[in-house]
Structure formats: structure tokens, C-alpha cells
Amino acid sequence: MNILIVGDVVGKAGREAVIEHLPGLREQLKLDFVVVNGENAAHGFGITDRICQSLYKLGVDVITTGNHIWDQREIINYIDSDPKLLRPLNFPEGTPGSGVGEFKTGDGSKVVVIHPMCRLFMDPLDDPFSRTEAALEGYILGSNAQAILVDFHGEATSEKQALGHLLDGRVSAVVGTHTHVPTADHQVLPGGTAYMTDLGMTGDYDSVIGMKKRAAIGRFMTKMPQGRLEPAEGHATFCAAFIETDKTTGQARRIEPVRLGGRLSKINPGERH
């Protein structure tokens, strides 16, 4: 199975990068399933139902989010009606929406997506490790789930690596989102789980993690309010991970970064197919 997981889409520039690159990648990489982290898609803060629908029309199968999920208040009343939009798994019981979902590919294969959020340097949510373990109960990779994907949204590299090793061999992939900076540690772990600490953002890298530079720098230099942060609007880099899994076992055969457009060096595994 060929899977693409796209890093945090930031603002209009990020959405335009998805429009520009996803259709071609779907053909080049013969994609069976696409996950996009969309928590910054609405002008850098949250996501709207309209943006969700526009991503689905591009061929996105699931949208994950993160700590900005509720920034656009309209999503609170919308999320229960959209099973393809996931919020972090370890929010308290009773929070609208879900952090885990079952989905089908075109050939009927079942893909499970689990979306926990870190706690180090993040909101004090429920334990993501135990909640992820609970979400995995009843799923056996290669048996009743042909692929299991985990988007672990958070700041600390150590926390993400720990979950990757905990789940090694039981899920197809553990990838991180949130920092907006791509890491160079993509690998298949010993048990057969594809891993990457952070996918990076799909946004303008002539910025401070996707935001216009002046206001962001001013906040660090003065510790005074600098007005609302605004997303940078230059040509964005599309950042993602391409994962190929074995359809029988569900384990990963390979993981490769994808970086197209904008300022970062180009990496396109589709050109080697």
C-alpha cells in the first residue's frame, strides 16, 4: 500500500502547495491513502469546514489536527458530522469529535488512523501512551487492519521517539507533526514500523515556523505584544512522508521524505519510480 502523510498545512500558501503538488504525487506514487495535518490551514490557526471539503476534493482521505483544533469556533459544531476530521485522541472524555478512525481504500483495505498529542511543552491532556494503547485494542496489523497510521502531534522529539519504539511492529507508521521543521531521521524501525520525528510544515519557509518574520522576531526581542501573528504568504514547500507498506503484513517496506517547491531542497521519490 502506498501512503502519503502531509505535514502541517499553514495558511493560504500551504493550501496552494497542496493544490499544486498533491494531484501529481497521487499519480506518480500511485497513492492508495492520503493523510493531511490541517490544524493551521485557516490563516495559520485552526481549520474550517470549507477547507476540509476543499481538501477532500483534492483526494485527501483523512485530516488530522492538533492543539489549534478549536481556534476556528465553527469546527466545534461541525466535527461530529465529519468522521474524516480527527482531533487529538487524548482530549478528555466527552470532547466533540474523535481521535481514531477506520477508513477504506479504493480496493477495500482497512486503514486505521490514530491521532494522539504529546504532553511535554504542550497542553496537560490525558496520557497519550495509554490512550494510544487503548485505541489499538482489537486491531491486529495485517489481520483486521491492513495499515495503522499514527500522527503524534507535539513538541518534544524524545516523546515522539518513545511512542515510535513502543508501537514498533504493531503499527505501520508513527510520524510527528507540530514543530513545522522537518527532521532527517526517517527510518523503518526494527519491528517494521516507519518512523519520522516531524514531517515539517507545508508552508512558506521564509518565515518563523510559517509566520511572518518581523512580528515573531519582535516577540522574542522585546517580550512585548506585537499584534496577531500572520502566516507568511510566499511560495510554500510541500512537506510529507511517502510510506510503502506490505499489503499482507501491514509493516513498512520504506519511508522517504517528500519536499517540493519553495525554499527547501527538492526530494521527490516519485521521480525514481
Cell 522537518 appears where? 182
Give 29-89 as a DSSP string.
TT-SEEEEE-TBTTTTS---HHHHHHHHHTT--EEE--TTTTSSTHHHHHGGG-TTB---T
CA 70 to CA 229: how far, in whole Å? Answer: 17
CB 172, CB 141: distance < 8 Å: yes
Alpha-carbon Rg for the chain in angstroms: 17
Neighbours of 262 (CB within 10 A): 20
Geometric angle at alpha carbon 156, from 227 and 7, rounded to 5°: 70
CB 142, CB 135: distance < 8 Å: no
Q: Indicate the burial class of 96 (C-beta count within 10 angstroms; 0-12, 13-18, 19 or more).
A: middle
3-state secondary structure of 167: helix
Neighbours of 138 (CB within 10 A): 9
Active site residue 180: no
Closest CA to 145 of 180, 174, 110, 115: 110
Q: Would strands 194-196 and 33-37 be described as parallel, antiparallel, or unpaired?
A: unpaired
Q: Determine which one of 68, 115, 178, 180 is catalytic.
A: 68
Which residues are tagged catalytic?
68
